[in-house]
């Protein structure tokens, strides 16, 4: 327990951006290859649903867990630490993401997962998940697809970390999030943004101090506004320009023959 109080704006009363769902919410696994019956099978395999405080480790490095953890509402992140103490976020987890997908096949993971906001998470026992994967091709394909999308996102992060300026890194991160959170609109888009500047730094390979200075500049340029944990984008197009952002890589609507999957048991 870090003892840090939850951030009010991420409680369930702000449902417009990530509506809390009872169990497996509708957009939870955004995969188009899930037949309705498969989706129900998934839902029934879940053993528990739990709330966690912000800034609390859900999974610690080298820990063995027997559950896949699916984020239903709230944010979390994966991170790893270098031997000199430096920290790097390797994934941002928003509703619908699986915190430890690779625990489906591997005994240990080389990262930790920490909550960012008040969050509710659902547990899918590994054994059940393996059984589901064996029995339902759509579920198998969904998990595989999730791993591949994670890869695509990681590739773009690598491009940011390796070759983009602090400005472009921040801009790109924000653009990515608008897509992943399903935020639409061209002007004055606003949404809750729980990341601290230090966490942004650990995500983008910068120091919190430099993040601060860069954000101030971007504010001055009218690219973003960020106060009270709310991020607003006055002009999406110019932010994308600053980021060199093209949403294609997220493969949102590009699943191969999504419609060709057997959807026999549509409820």
Rounded CA separation 224/215 (Å): 8
Pick out residues in 172-201 that bind DNA (CB under 7 A). 196-198, 201
Rounded CA separation 99/92 (Å): 9
Nearest in space to 74 (alpha carbons), one of 31, 122, 144:
122
Rounded CA separation 66/100 (Å): 10
* Coil/strand/helix, residue 124: strand
Q: From the CB of 27, what's the least distance to its own copies, in Å? A: 19
Nearer to its own copies, 18 or 79 (CB): 79
CA atoms within 13 A on the CB side of 85: 0
Q: From the CB of 11, what's the least distance to its own copies, in Å? A: 31
Other residues' Cβ atoms within 10 Å of the Cβ of residue 91:
18
Residue count, binding to DNA (CB under 7 A): 27
Tokens, residue 179: 């897509």
Q: From the CB of 77, what's the least distance to DNA, in Å? A: 13
Rounded CA separation 222/82 (Å): 35
Q: Which of 13, 16, 84, 228 binds its own copies (CB under 8 A)?
A: 84
208 is a contact residue toward its own copies (CB under 8 A): no
Please report, as ranges, the residues that interact with DNA according to CB under 7 A.
3-8, 55, 165-167, 196-198, 201, 205-210, 212-216, 228-229
Please report, as ranges, the residues that interact with its own copies according to CB under 8 A.
62, 78, 80, 82-84, 86-88, 90-91, 101-102, 104-108, 110-111, 126, 130, 133-134, 137, 140-141, 143-145, 147-148, 150-152, 154-159, 161-164, 168, 202, 204-205, 244, 246, 248-249, 251, 254-256
């Amino acid at each position: 327990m870090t003892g840090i109080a939850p951030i009010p704006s991420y409680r369930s009363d702000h449902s417009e951006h990530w509506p809390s769902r009872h169990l497996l919410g509708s957009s939870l696994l955004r995969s188009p290859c899930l037949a309705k019956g498969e989706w129900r099978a998934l839902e029934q395999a879940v053993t528990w649903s739990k709330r966690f405080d912000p800034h609390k480790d859900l999974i610690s490095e080298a820990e063995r867990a027997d559950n896949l953890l699916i984020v239903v509402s709230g944010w979390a992140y994966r991170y790893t630490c270098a031997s000199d103490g430096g920290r790097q976020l390797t994934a941002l987890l928003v509703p619908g993401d699986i915190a430890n997908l690779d625990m489906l096949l591997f005994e240990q993971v080389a990262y930790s997962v920490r909550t960012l906001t008040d969050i509710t998470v659902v547990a899918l026992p590994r054994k059940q998940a393996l059984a589901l994967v064996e029995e339902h091709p759509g579920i198998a394909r969904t998990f595989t697809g999730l791993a591949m999308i994670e890869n695509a996102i990681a590739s773009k992060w690598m491009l940011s970390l390796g070759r983009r300026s602090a400005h472009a890194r921040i801009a790109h991160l924000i653009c990515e999030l608008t897509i992943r959170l399903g935020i639409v609109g061209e002007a004055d888009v606003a949404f809750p943004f729980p990341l601290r500047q230090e966490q942004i730094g650990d995500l983008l390979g910068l120091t919190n101090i430099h993040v601060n200075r860069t954000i101030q500049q971007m504010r001055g340029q009218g690219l973003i506004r960020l106060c009270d944990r709310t991020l607003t984008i006055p002009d999406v197009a110019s932010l994308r320009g600053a980021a060199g952002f093209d949403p294609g890589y997220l493969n949102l609507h590009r699943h191969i023959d999504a419609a060709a999957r057997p959807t026999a048991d549509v409820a």
